[in-house]
Chains A and B, each alone.
Chain A
Amino acid sequence: MSAQFATKRLGKELEKIHNSLPPGIELVSAENFEEWQLDIRVLDNNPLYMNQTYRLKFRFGSSYPIEPPEVVFVKLPDRAIPMHPHIYSNGIICVDLLAAQGWSPVQNVESVCMSLQSMLTGNTKNERPPGDEEFVRANRLRPRDIDFYYDDNTV
Chain B
Amino acid sequence: MSSTAATSNKRIIASAGPEAAPPTPVTTASNGMDSEDDFMSAVSSGDDIQDDSDNDDMSGADDDFDFDDEPDPDLGIHKDIMQRKKVAYDISFKVYEPADIQKQQDVLIDEVNMILDISKEEAAILLRYFRWNKERLIEDYMDKPRQVLEAAGLAQVSASPPKLEVIPGFMCDICCEDEEGLQTFAIKCGHRYCADCYRHYLSQKIKEEGEAARIQCPADGCNLIIDARSLDLLVTPELRTRYHELLNRTYVEDKDQLKWCPAPDCQNAIECQVKKKDLDKVVPTVSCLCSHRFCFGCILNDHQPAPCELVKRWLKKCADDSETANWISANTKECPKCNSTIEKNGGCNHMTCRKCKHEFCWMCMGLWSEHGTSWYNCNRFEEKSGTEARDAQAKSRVSLERYLHYYNRYANHEQSARLDKDIYHKTEKKMVQLQRDSKMSWIEVQYLNSASQALQTCRQTLMWTYAFAFYLARNNQTEMFEDNQKDLEMAVESLSEMFEKPVAELQDPKLKVEIMDKTSYCNKRRVILLDDTAQNLAEGKGDRNLLALAL
Q: Which residues of A contact B (CB under 8 A)?
A: 1, 5, 8-9, 12-13, 63, 65-67, 100, 104-107
Contacts and interface: CB of A to CB of B under 8 A. Distances in A.
A13 B173 CA distance: 11
Contacts of B315: none
A9 B221 CA distance: 21
A106 B193 CA distance: 10
A8 B201 contact: no
Contacts of A105: 173-174, 193, 197, 201, 218
B177 A66 contact: no
Contacts of A67: 204, 208
A142 B3 CA distance: 68
B219 interface: yes
Contacts of A8: 175-177
A47 to B, nearest CB: 31
Given A8-B175, A9-B175, A106-B173, A66 B221 contact: no
Contacts of B221: 104
Interface residues of B, number: 16
A5 B220 contact: no
A104 B204 contact: no
B200 A63 contact: yes
A100 B177 CA distance: 23
Main secondary structure of the interface of A (DSSP, over half): loop
A1 B200 contact: yes
B209 interface: yes
Given A66-B197, A104-B218, A106-B219, 12 more contacts: A1-B200, A8-B177, A63-B200, A63-B204, A65-B175, A66-B200, A105-B174, A105-B193, A106-B173, A106-B174, A106-B220, A107-B220
A62 to B, nearest CB: 11
A23 B221 CA distance: 24
Nearest to B175: A9
A5 B204 contact: no
Contacts of B209: 100
Contacts of B177: 8
Interface in B149-207: 173-177, 193, 197, 200-201, 204
A104 B220 contact: yes
A26 B176 CA distance: 22
User: Which 9 A-B pairs rank lowest in CB-CB distance, beginning with the nearest?
Assistant: A12-B176, A104-B220, A105-B174, A66-B204, A66-B200, A105-B218, A106-B220, A106-B173, A9-B175
Interface string B494-516: 00000000000000000000000
Contacts of B176: 8-9, 12-13
